[in-house]
Copies of this chain bind each other. A is one copy, B any other.
């Protein structure tokens, strides 16, 4: 983040720093711990837009009174295959920590299961939410709405969030196949960083407040971003809106935006996770799904120029675990001020 001097830190120190600032900011330990782990791992995985940078927003939303930093999430089994966690107006990671083990158990018992996180605030990277599920050997998805800043294909006004989709495929002893992308042409955090760096947007990423194409990050942030992939990406964004909003009884991103107070923290919003146990299709003959998928993934990787979706993230994480992560001194100063 930003320019200027940087400080190299190990992952454990990153997580400890994040935890310290979140606790000083008024979060209870059970709310702060899963956030600290998420932002540290995301920073280490090469996504600073969802890394330490987010801590200011978490703290601001507790200090403004909008989010409860001490909320105790409540779990409800609403059907044999469906778990709902009410975040009690706290953050999503604590709700996820309560719900994920029950989702895993339900998927193994019934072959497929769903987990809805409701009445909570989501601000972290979605791929991280899939980690316990792929580690348990499950094929899985996560959907959440983001801040309302995306116009539908053909439209000129904000209607949808950046609405990421994440998918995970377990690979036995190897790093899982995981993708996590915004259904907007680009994530909001990336646009903010491009604005800070004075960069121009590629064509087709944003429109200004009058609905006209723009390549200025600040104009696009004041207007709207566009979906990736034209009408197909727009349809996927609408799907996420329906799944993480109305389906699970949560507001759409536009309704959530009306409830925001501008404190810079995460919007109110739900998350839907799905998990399938591939073992139910194994037909008692071992793990053919695992081996067949490896043949496919090897064929993909064998083509020069082709990268699997999570290759870059896994490589960044491995590098950070060995060599640490360089954090801007200016960000560390901000965090120190927050914790003071």
Residues of A within 8 A of B (CB): 78-82, 84, 109-114, 116, 139, 151-157, 159, 167, 169, 177, 179, 181, 228-233, 235, 238-239, 241-243, 245-249, 251-252, 254-255, 274, 276-278, 280-283, 288-290, 292-293, 295-296, 299-300, 303-309
Contact = CB atoms under 8 A, between A and B. Distances in A.
A44 to B, nearest CB: 22
A147 B292 CA distance: 18
Nearest to A152: B306
A232 B233 contact: yes
Contact of A303 (B82, B159, B177, B229): B159
A274 B277 contact: no
Given A289-B246, A293-B242, A295-B252, A231 B309 contact: yes
A81 B81 contact: yes
A293 B231 CA distance: 19
Nearest to A167: B239
A289 B152 contact: no
10 contacts: A78-B281, A79-B111, A81-B111, A84-B281, A110-B110, A159-B296, A177-B242, A181-B232, A249-B281, A249-B282
B79 A280 contact: yes
A112 B246 CA distance: 16
A259 to B, nearest CB: 14
B242 A299 contact: no
A302 to B, nearest CB: 9
Which label, helix, strand, loop or mixed, suits the secondary structure of the A interface? mixed
A82 B157 CA distance: 41
Given A112-B114, A245-B296, 16 more contacts: A78-B111, A82-B112, A111-B114, A114-B276, A153-B306, A155-B303, A155-B306, A169-B242, A179-B232, A235-B309, A238-B296, A238-B308, A238-B309, A242-B293, A247-B276, A249-B282
B288 A249 contact: yes
A139 B245 contact: no
Q: In this complex, which of A84, A113, A293 has the most chain B Cβ atoms within 10 angstroms of its Cβ?
A: A293
B155 A283 contact: no
Nearest to A239: B167
B305 A156 contact: yes
A120 B280 CA distance: 19
Contacts of A289: 246-249
Nearest to A283: B249
Contacts of A288: 246, 249
Q: In this complex, which of A139, A277, A292 has the most chain B Cβ atoms within 10 angstroms of its Cβ?
A: A292
Contacts of A247: 139, 276, 278, 281, 289, 293
A18 to B, nearest CB: 29
A7 to B, nearest CB: 32
Contacts of A277: 79
